[in-house]
Amino acid sequence: MLRQARFIIFVLLLSGLGGCYVSRLAWHQGKLLNSRRDVAEAVADPSTQSSVRDRLADLPGILDFAKSCGLEPGNSYRRYIDNGDRPLSWLVHAAKADRLESVTWWFPFSGRVPYLGFFSKEERDEEEASLKAKGYDTAKGTATAFSMLGIIDDPIYRSMTRRPRDEFAHVIFHELVHRTVWVRGSVEFNERLAETFARRVTLAWLDSIHDEQGKREFLADIEDRRKFSVWLTALRGDLEVLYQASFDRSEILRRKGALIAEFTEMRRPKFSGGDIIRGRTWNNAEVLAAGLYDGNDFLCQPEPVEPEKAKGFMTWLRANKNSEIATTETLRKVCL
C-alpha cells in the first residue's frame, strides 16, 4: 500500500505540475490508500454498519457481471476505505462569464480536465473565491467516488456504499468504464460513455438478480435524468445563440441572467424524485459541469444490454482507443 501511495506522489511530482495543490492532493490520496483493508475483513467486522455490509456483499456478483460485459476490474474494489460521512472530494468548475468555455487544468494520465478536486472543503472554497475574483462563473460540487484510471487498484469508499443497491452497482460500472477505457483530454466523451454504458449494464445486472423493485427505481431515475437532459440541452442551446449575438458584454450578461431565470423558474420540468434543478446556482460553469453527464443530443432507450454485445463493444473500444473515437457516433453505438 505504501508503494502505491509513493507511486502516486512520484508520478504527480514528475508531471511538471509541482506546487502546493499537487503535493497536498498526493499526500491526502496516499493517506487514504494507507487506511485500506480487505473487503472481507470489513464485512466480518461487527462494527461495520449493516447497510455497508449489504453493499459490500453485492460486490462479487457486480464485479463478475462487469467482467462478462467486457469491463476490466483487475484487483480494484477488493479493499475498503471508511471515509466516514464526508464526500471523497470537493470539486470546483469555472467558465467564462460571457460564453460557454470552461477553464481547464492539465494532469498526467487524464489529460486536460475542466475541474479541480480537493480533499478539503475549505481549500475548494478558497480556490472558488480566487476564480470568482478573476471574473469567472463558478460551480461547486462533491464526489463520492472516482477512478484512478487503472494506474492503481481502486478501493471501495464508504461514501459509495450509502447509495441504494441499484445506484451502488451503477457507480461501480461507471467507474469501471473509466478504468477500462479513458481517452485523454476528452472528459465530456468519457463521462457520457461511462454514464450511458453503465445504465444499460446496471439494468441487465438487475434483471440477472431478479430485483424488480430496484429496476423500477432505477428506471424512474433514468426518466428524471432524461427530463433534465432535455431541459439542459435547451438551456445550453439558447445560451449559445445569445453568446453569438452582437450585443456588448453588459447586455449579454443581463440577457443571460434573464434567460437562466426563465428556465429555472418557468421552464423547469417535474421530477418523480428529487428536483435536479432547484438549489443550484445556474451559470455557465454549472451548465458545463452538468453537461459532462447530461444534456446529450442523443438518448438511449432505457433497456438492458446483452453482456456479449457489451463485451464486443468494449473490445472494439479498447482496440481503437484514441482521440478519434471521442465522437457522438461512438456514443450512439452504446445504444445499439
Q: What is the mean pLDDT of residues 15-29?
A: 54
Do residues 71 and 177 make contact, with C-beta atoms less than 8 angstroms apart? yes
If you ran DSSP here, which 8-state letter would residue 305 be given?
A: P
pLDDT of 118-159, one tens digit each?
888 999 999 999 999 999 999 999 887 777 777 788 999 998
> What is the pLDDT at residue 11?
42
If you ran DSSP here, which 8-state letter would residue 306 be given?
A: P
Q: 193 is written with which cell numbers?
A: 460513455
pLDDT of 275-330, one tens digit each?
999 989 999 999 999 998 887 655 678 899 999 999 999 999 999 988 789 998 89
Do residues 232 and 240 make contact, with C-beta atoms less than 8 angstroms apart? no
> What is the pLDDT at residue 18?
44
pTM of the model: 0.85
